[in-house]
Structure formats: C-alpha cells, structure tokens
C-alpha cells in the first residue's frame, strides 16, 4: 500500500464498517495496554488507558446504533482503507513500555486520536456521498474534541520522574 493513498468510501455501509472497526480496535487496544500497565503496577497509566478505552467503547456503541437497518458489507482485514497497516487508532507496540510515564502514555493517546481524526477527515474530503461526508465530519469533530481534551490534560501534567524498575529483566551474559 502506498504511503498516501486517497481514501474513497462511497457508501454508508462501508463507512460504518470502517468506523466500527476503528472504534472497536481502539477500545481493545487501550484495554490491552491498561491490563499490561496494571500487571506491572503502573496504575496511573492503566487508569488513563482504561478511560480512553471507555471513550472508544462508547463511540463503537454509537456507531453500532447507526448500523441498524443499514446493509453492511463484509470487509476483509487487508481491504480496510487505512493509510497504515492497522486501524488508525491502534499504534505499533514499539511505543509502549511497562514503565512508561503518564506523559509518554499521553503522547501515544494523542498520536492515536490524531490519526483517527485525520482518517475521518480524509474520508469526508474524498467521498462523493453526501451522507458519508456528513457522518465522517461528525466523527472527525468528535475525534478532534478528544485531541483537544488530551492536549489540555497534557498541558496540566507536571514532569514526573521515570519509574524505577524494581525487577529489571535478567539478561544472561
């Protein structure tokens, strides 16, 4: 897939399948991160990821309600029209670390929410379907609100010292 393919989604059903996958994948991803942070006793970061997972789950519920009465196409994982290999709100795990600070977690969340907003905006900009454009603009606006909320939270954060690893990995020599 090229780096910047045009995202053209021209049916409401196709758009809703994409939106549902994006929000459900985001929710699942945040829950996995929260679970991992809890296991490693990084409770502040776990709480942030749980809250973000709740937002995504609520979005997925709202999208699911919109699917009532709409014929939804089946889209294979490799046929989703993302500009990245996975859903826009799912980042590569390289950015996660069990000792990450709340500031680092906020950066990950901000990156994810920005990609989600940008995806919806790109759909709105390229679709020939007015109903899809309206729904995509609504979703972009909602994701934009999340981006701004995260930026406000981030601005209120104070620098925190990195966590001390009380049980570092044992690397054989």
CB atoms within 10 A of CB 1: 10
CATH number, residue 22: 1.20.1260.10
- In whole angstroms, what is the distance from residue 57 CA to residue 26 CA? 8
Q: Is the pLDDT of residue 32 over 70?
A: yes
The alpha carbon torsion through 46, 52, 54, 58 (nearest 10 deg) reads -170
Name the more confident of 20 and 95.
20
Name the more confident of 100 and 34.
34
Cα–Cα nearest to 124, from 135, 116, 114: 135
Sorting pLDDT into bands at 50, 70 and 90, what band is 94?
A: low
Q: Is the pLDDT of residue 170 over 70?
A: no
User: Would residue 58 count as lying in a domain?
Assistant: yes
DSSP 8-state class, residue 77 = G
User: Would residue 163 count as lying in a domain?
Assistant: no
User: Would residue 136 count as lying in a domain?
Assistant: yes
Mean pLDDT of all residues belonging to the chain = 82
8 A C-beta contact, residue 97 and residue 42: no
> Structural domain of residue 33, as residue ranges?
12-156
DSSP 8-state class, residue 111 = H
Residue 56 backbone phi and psi in degrees, to 5: -65, -40
């Amino acid at each position: 897939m090229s780096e910047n393919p045009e995202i053209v989604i021209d049916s409401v059903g196709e758009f809703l399948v994409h939106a549902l996958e994006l929000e459900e994948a985001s929710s699942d991803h945040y829950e996995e991160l929260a679970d991992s942070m809890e296991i490693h006793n990084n409770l502040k970061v776990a709480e942030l990821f749980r809250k973000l997972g709740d937002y995504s789950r609520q979005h997925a519920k709202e999208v699911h309600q919109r699917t009532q009465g709409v014929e939804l196409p089946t889209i294979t994982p490799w046929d989703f029209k993302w500009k990245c290999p996975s859903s826009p709100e799912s980042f590569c795990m390289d950015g996660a670390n069990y000792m990450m600070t709340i500031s680092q977690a906020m950066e990950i969340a901000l990156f994810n929410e920005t990609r989600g907003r940008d995806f919806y905006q790109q759909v709105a900009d390229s679709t020939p379907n007015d109903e899809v454009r309206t729904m995509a603009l609504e979703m972009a606006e909602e994701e934009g609100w999340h981006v701004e909320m995260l930026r406000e939270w981030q601005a209120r954060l104070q620098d925190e010292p990195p966590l001390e690893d009380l049980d570092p990995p044992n690397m054989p020599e």
